[in-house]
Structure 1
Amino acid sequence: MTAFSLDPAQTAWCEELRALAEQQLRPLAEKGEPGHVNRPLIAALGESGLLDRLLNSGALDLCLLRESLARGCTEAETALALQGLGTHPVVQAGTPAHRERWLPEVRAGRAVAAFALSEPGAGSDAAALALNAERTFDGWRLTGEKCWISNAPEADFYTVFARTTQGAGSRGVTAFLVPADRPGLTGTALDMLSPHPIGALVLDGVPVTPDDVLGEPDRGFRVAMNTLNLFRPSVGAFAVGMARAALDATVAYTAERTAFGGPLKDLQAVSHQVAEMATRTEAARLLVYAAAAAYDAGEAGVPRRAAMAKLYATETAQYVVDTAVQLHGARALRRGHLLEHLYREVRAPRIYEGASEVQRTIIAKELYANQEASA
């Protein structure tokens, strides 16, 4: 496995990102309307150069970006990550015309992107998607539904995955770049536990042409998986950032709060829980960095390492935030408290971009495949 360590410049950059998130991005996030795309926040990400950095980052830089922003402002982290998720298929498989049209707009924070893979009947089993691409004389017409799509229905363009060959499983899926103003494309917002911009899309004969294809026809599933292999470790980084924010708050609170004649930190039941929170967070962080370093080095076994990183980091963040709430008591349940916010934010990463159960399946399959290969 690739060895790695953060150099002083990377460490300093992480602290700069955290300060930027707390001081400049969080005020913009707080002014946003829950459940809607925060375009001023996205514009600020563009002005800061972070969206340009996002589109030119390797996996480790992406993880550092997401972790550091999450420590200071989860809304800024999510806005940045969604821009990356929706745009990376264009970066990896778009035509020169696609890149010329959309990438400058994304870098500047003027265009909002979305990654449209999930459907009512195709979530964890992404290869089962049923959105139909019917052949026409000059391309296809897309008919069906997408759901749980971040930035929908307010995005400016969508990376849409549709079935172009029936009965072919993952080999019959094509990726299309679909501008939001195409006729037949409509959407509705969904009211979620954590109020992010997430919606459902209805495609009623939406016209697309060969010029809209990302990559090759019937090879779109590869585009989706390449994107997820890059972003899965960084979901773990997002989770680590939330865990670190919860840990920071808990260390400060338990050092100041008094009970039973002294600070909470002097109670062994408390200090041992804080130690456990810190240990699990650091282990998750190292696992995320290792997966990212392996991706950047082009090593074998990246899907397994990415799955391990996402699985352990998201499950750890859930534990750390929940424990932080417990140690803070009722004040952490009050609307507007940092931990109340994190408690709602931390739940979804265990589901999206592959639920924890899917990550365990990926890990186990590769382990057994390696065992059979060496037998």
Structure 2
Amino acid sequence: MKRSPPSGGRISRVTRAVGLDLAWPFFEAHHSSVAAAAAALCDTLQPIDHEDEDAACRALVAAMGKAGLLTLSAPTDGPHDVRALAITRERLAYHSGLADFAFAMQGLGFGPVMVAGTETQKAEWGARVRGGSAIAAFALTEPGAGSDAARVATRATRDGSDWLIDGEKTYISNGPIADIITLFARTSDEGARGLTAFILPANTPGLSVAERIAVVAPHPLARLRLDSVRLPDSARLGEVGEGFTIAMATLNIFRVTVGAAALGLARRALDEAIAFASQRPLGNAMLVDNAVTQDRIGTMATRIDAAALLIARAAWAKDTQDGDHRRSAAMAKLEATEMAQQVIDSAVQLHGGLGVTVGARVEALYREIRALRIYEGASEVQRMIIARTLLK
């Protein structure tokens, strides 16, 4: 049976005191309008058909493009506003995990072009990505290379003035529906330093979807095969051998925002738990009046705010401070995703049998949060980053 979690909708009580608080000194006046725009978009989104995630994602990207929200993912000039990205992802994830996914992938997929692309490359695709008419994907992971990018085996070899690319990529979000893919392939045997980045239009001959991959929280995911894919040198991003640096620079922009998405999911779980406990009889009172319930809710709210502060600090540092911010980003991503898993589990527990019933919002949240502890750097990798920056 294919699960079709509900998306959107309002609940009876809203816990507005937790999450990213725009009154904190990490934020600026214009961030209020960013939050308002994201909330306004969520109010207009139609119920998402999870039986056809391809069509749902296309519709979400188009709606975000029309609303102007994708200018945050692919800004017309200057660097990304990481705080704005975090605010937007938190609001979208609160409404729908798939909406957050659609927004984030436009940024991650086009991010390498923003980081290292020429003005011509940015102009060729930028307006379409911002407008929502072109869907973007980021292709680094392979069957034998996940967190260890040095093991990437997909190879690009020179053929006159072109490149011929052969290999496979897997777990590629938007893989089945992308119009533009930023691809990382090996151009030498120097480990991570042997990777080069390319812009790959999805209609290029030799590129095919080898397999659709079904996961616990449905979204367009695929294994891609590249069979003598020919690209001109003008499709190369940056210099030969700079692919790993470009990939990490892109991931470092969006890593903090993964934590923000987790924060949005956790906030929704807390609000669902409060709403349910407030309406559920227990003896002569309500479940929310029980001391054990209150202890659980207090713990959930405190952990959410603690993670929100780490996210706000890391996003603020990325936006305003020079230097290496890998540690603060890793801490934010690690704590927020691990926190959200536990908060959502607590919400499921408070719901009892309803919490594990297909169609319940907390059941959907339970599935939506799990991948965030893995993608864009698993929790174990974040702990290594934190430790290594301290031990230098």
- What range is the shorter-chain TM-score in? over 0.9
Aligned to 1:290: 313
- The letter of the residue matching 2:44 is Q
CA contact (8 A) 2:279 2:287 kept: yes
| Relative contact order, higher structure (CA 8 A, sep 6+) | 2
What secondary structure does 2:381 align onto? helix
- Is 1:207 matched with 2:226? no
What secondary structure does 2:121 align onto? helix
What secondary structure does 1:347 align onto? helix
- Is 1:4 matched with 2:25? yes
CA contact (8 A) 1:25 1:73 kept: no
- Is 1:90 matched with 2:113? yes
Distance 1:214 1:37, change over 3 A: farther
Aligned to 1:372: none
Aligned to 2:44: 24
Higher share in helix: 1
Deviation at 1:194, TM superposition (A): 1.0
- The letter of the residue matching 1:107 is R
- 1:177-236 CA-to-partner distances (Å, cap 9, x unmatched) read 011111111113111111111101111111122101111111111110000001100000
- Is 1:169 matched with 2:188? no
**Where do 1:118-137 residues align within 5 Å?**
118-137=141-160
CA contact (8 A) 1:4 1:293 kept: no
What secondary structure does 2:72 align onto? helix
Q: Give the whole-Å Cα distance in 2 for the aligned partners of 1:54 and 1:147.
A: 23
Q: Give the whole-Å Cα distance in 1 for the aligned partners of 2:145 and 2:262.
A: 24
Deviation at 1:139, TM superposition (A): 2.4
Q: Give the whole-Å Cα distance in 1 for the aligned partners of 2:29 and 2:162.
A: 52
Deviation at 1:334, TM superposition (A): 2.0
Number of paired residues? 364
Q: Give the whole-Å Cα distance in 1 for the aligned partners of 2:32 and 2:123.
A: 33
- 1:7-62 CA-to-partner distances (Å, cap 9, x unmatched) read 565346425523431x22252x2376136662122111101110123222411111
- Is 1:245 matched with 2:264? no
CA contact (8 A) 1:60 1:292 kept: yes
Q: Give the whole-Å Cα distance in 2 for the aligned partners of 1:325 and 1:26.
A: 26
> Normalised by the size of structure 1, how large is the TM-score?
0.93
Distance 1:129 1:340, change over 3 A: same
What secondary structure does 1:343 align onto? helix
Aligned to 2:5: none
- Is 1:194 matched with 2:214? no
Q: Give the whole-Å Cα distance in 2 for the aligned partners of 1:177 and 1:13.
A: 30
Identity %: 45
Task: Tell me which of 173, 182, 195 is aligned to 1:159.
Answer: 182
- The letter of the residue matching 2:61 is I
Q: Give the whole-Å Cα distance in 1 for the aligned partners of 2:334 and 2:227.
A: 36
Task: Tell me which of 60, 73, 88 is aligned to 2:96.
Answer: 73
- Is 1:340 matched with 2:363? yes
What secondary structure does 1:4 align onto? coil
What residue ranges of structure 2 are gaps of 5+ in the alignment? 1-23
Moved over 4 A (4+): none
CA RMSD, 1 decimal: 1.7
